[in-house]
């Protein structure tokens, strides 16, 4: 049994929050540059140039890529041969968020009550999901999810007999309804299967897949590519000002479900995709 101090978790989460918010990941920047190369709209090209330039400034000056530094979503894979010491896992994660957002001068956007709207003052608590796995490692997948794109997400319960085309239409329509509000070019996470709570969670986890890495299932990978082409034909374009680059990627993940159900969730992510991973 390996012992792991929760203080290391706190420090890791602190660093991930600052790094994710100030240093756009390489796969996203590569995708933006590819979108710029392919973009035909003058407005679209100018917006993409500004997004890429903005990311460079943020990285150099350690400033937030976007003023909305998001809510912190944490996926933890906890090895069952680890014994945590020095405090609880949840408290360690939230302390890391608090320190990261305070010391990194990141905007605090979390309210303690959805109706009374009192800001917690440190962007905690995080939305933390823990899964037990074999081994003695702890892996943290952290994403700082902007509010605008999150608001554009959707879930629908299809009949088990629903066609491929019906599901595609729902996914494309969700992106179309989001329009400029999700700050395109977006990343589209799709969760198919599970139940009421699992489908959206699966869609959100799909966003963590690196851009350009398609589903290992050949049919799903083909579907992802087809959806990306169709979404980019919508003409919404960068920041909704028209053009080809409405989405950078469509990532589909699936989960087992009940024979009477076929839930489909779409979780939309903005161009400022802030995600980081570490293994302890």
> Are residues 199 and 176 both part of a single domain?
yes
> Are residues 133 and 163 both part of a single domain?
no
> Are residues 151 and 139 both part of a single domain?
no
Which tens digits make up the pLDDT trace of 190-222?
999 999 999 999 999 999 999 999 999 999 999
> Are residues 168 and 117 both part of a single domain?
no
On whether residue 183 sits in a domain, the answer given is: yes
> Are residues 106 and 237 both part of a single domain?
no
> Are residues 264 and 134 both part of a single domain?
no
Element (H, E) at 143: strand 138-145
- Tell me, what's the pLDDT at 253? 98
On whether residue 42 sits in a domain, the answer given is: no
Q: Of 105, 129, 145, which residue constitutes the final position of a domain? A: 145
**Overall domain count for the chain:** 2
Q: SS3 for 193?
A: strand
Which tens digits make up the pLDDT trace of 116-144?
999 999 999 999 999 999 999 999 999 99
CATH number, domain containing residue 111? 3.30.360
**What is the domain range of residue 103?**
2-22+65-145
> Are residues 74 and 205 both part of a single domain?
no
On whether residue 29 sits in a domain, the answer given is: no
Q: pLDDT band at 246, cuts 50/70/90? A: very high
On whether residue 191 sits in a domain, the answer given is: yes
Mark out the alpha helices in the chain (DSSP H runs): 6-22, 26-38, 42-61, 89-103, 147-150, 164-178, 198-206, 218-232
Q: What count of residues does the chain have? A: 280
Q: Of 95, 114, 145, which residue constitutes the final position of a domain? A: 145
- Tell me, what's the pLDDT at 57? 98
Handedness of CA 167, 173, 178, 182 (dihedral sign): positive
Query: Between the CA of residue 19 and those of 16, 39, 110, 143, what are the distances in Å?
Result: 5, 29, 19, 11
E strand residue ranges, 71-126: 71-79, 82-85
């Amino acid at each position: 049994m390996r012992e792991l101090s929760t203080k290391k978790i706190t420090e890791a989460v602190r660093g991930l929050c600052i790094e994710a918010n100030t240093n756009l990941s390489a796969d996203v920047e590569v995708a933006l540059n590819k979108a710029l190369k392919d973009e035909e709209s003058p407005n679209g090209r100018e917006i993409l140039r500004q997004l890429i330039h903005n990311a460079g400034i943020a990285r150099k000056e350690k400033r937030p890529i976007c003023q909305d530094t998001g809510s912190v979503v944490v996926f933890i894979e906890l090895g069952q041969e680890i014994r945590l010491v020095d405090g609880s896992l949840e408290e360690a994660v939230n302390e890391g968020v608090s320190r990261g957002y305070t010391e990194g001068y990141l905007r605090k956007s979390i309210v303690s009550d959805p109706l009374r709207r009192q800001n917690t003052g440190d962007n905690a608590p995080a939305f933390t999901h823990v899964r037990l796995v074999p081994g003695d490692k702890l892996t943290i997948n952290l994403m700082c999810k902007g509010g605008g794109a999150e608001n554009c997400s959707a879930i629908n319960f299809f009949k088990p007999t629903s066609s491929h085309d019906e599901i595609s239409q729902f996914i494309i329509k969700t992106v179309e309804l989001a329009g400029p509000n999700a700050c395109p070019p977006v990343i589209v996470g799709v969760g198919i299967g599970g139940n009421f709570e699992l489908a959206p969670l699966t869609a959100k986890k799909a966003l963590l897949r690196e851009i350009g890495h398609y589903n290992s299932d050949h049919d799903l990978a083909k579907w992802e590519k087809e959806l990306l082409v169709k979404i980019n034909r919508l003409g919404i374009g960068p920041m909704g000002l028209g053009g080809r680059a409405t989405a950078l990627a469509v990532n589909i993940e699936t989960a087992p479900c009940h024979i009477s159900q076929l839930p489909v969730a779409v979780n939309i992510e903005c161009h400022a995709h802030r995600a980081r991973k570490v293994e302890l």
